[in-house]
Amino acid sequence: MEITIWQAIVLGIIEGLTEFLPVSSTGHLTIAEGLMGIPIDDKAVTAYTAVVQMGAIAAVYVYFWKDLVRMVTAWFRGLFNPARRQDFDYRFTWYVIAGSIPIGIVGFFGEDLITGPFRSLWVVAFSLIAWSGVMAFADHAATHQRTEKDLTLRDTLWIGFAQCLALIPGISRSGSTISVGLLRDLDRVTATKLSFYLALPAVTAAGFYQLPEALEGGVGPAPIIVGLVFCFAVAYVAIAWLLKFVSKHSIMIFVYYRVGLGLLLITLLVTGVLEPT
C-alpha cells in the first residue's frame, strides 16, 4: 500500500498532536486514513500507524532525557548495590518495566484481532463515546491526594493493564492510563507523566516490530521518515502543553471532544460519507 508524502505529513501531524492527549491517536489516524481513501484494514497501513508513533515516543525521550538518564543510572546502580535499592528512581524504573509487560503480552497474542476486526470506524466511534464515560467518572471521583513519590508497584500494574485497552482504536492509551491513574487517587500531572513513561517500551517495541510489515507492504522509506519527523516536532510541543494544562485543569474538555467526535463519526458512517473499513 503506497502512502504519499502529503498523506505522511498529515498523518504525522495528527499522530504527534493526539498521541498523548486522551482522545485516541489511533482513532484519529484511522478516521484520517478513511477520509483520504487509504484502506484502513490493510496490514501495511496498520503497520505504518504503529511505526509513525515512534516519532511521538522520540519526543518523550528528548523531553524527559535528564529524568530518564537519572532513572536508568539509579536502576543500574541498584542492580549491583543493594544499598541503592531504596532510591525512588530505582524502584520507579522497576515500576515502569513491570507496568509495560501486560500490553506487550496482550499485543503479541492479540495481533490478529487488533489488525483485523478492531480496524473498523464503528469500533472507533463507539470506543470514543464509551470510554468518555470512564474518563468523566475518573475525573469526578479522583481525590488527587497522591503524588509521584507515593507510587507503588500495584499502581503501575493497574495502569499497565489499563494500557492494554488502548489496543482497541478509539479508547486511547493516554485516556486509559490517565483515567486509572486518577482512580488510584494520583494527581493529574503524576498520572500523565506515568502515561508518558509507560508508552516508551510499548510503543517503541510495537514500532520496530511493525516496521518490516510496513516496508514489505509497499510503504516506502520516504513516507515513514517524513511521518516520523512531523510527528516528533508536533508531539514535543503537545507534551509540554499537556503537562501545563493538566496541572491546572480537569480532563473534561477531552471527554466532551471525544463524545462529539464519536457522534460525528457515527453520522458520517450512517450517511455513507465514510466506509467503516
The answer as to whether 105 is a domain residue is yes
| Domain encompassing residue 51 | 5-270
The answer as to whether 30 is a domain residue is yes
The answer as to whether 152 is a domain residue is yes
Q: In terms of pTM, does the model score above 0.85?
A: yes
What are the residues whose beta carbons fall under 8 Å from the beta carbon of 203, sequence distance 6 or more?
50, 53, 54, 56, 57, 173
Please return the burial class of 130, using the count of CB atoms within 10 Å of its CB with bins 0-12, 13-18 and 19+: middle
The answer as to whether 28 is a domain residue is yes
The answer as to whether 277 is a domain residue is no
Give how many domains the chain has, as a whole number.
1
Q: How confident is the prediction along the chain (277 residues), in pLDDT tens digits per residue?
A: 678 999 999 999 999 999 999 998 888 998 898 889 888 878 888 888 889 999 999 999 999 999 999 999 999 999 998 888 889 999 999 999 999 999 888 877 776 776 667 778 899 999 999 999 999 999 999 999 999 889 999 999 999 999 999 888 889 989 999 999 999 999 999 999 999 999 898 888 888 888 888 888 778 889 999 999 999 999 999 999 999 999 989 999 999 999 999 999 999 999 988 888 7
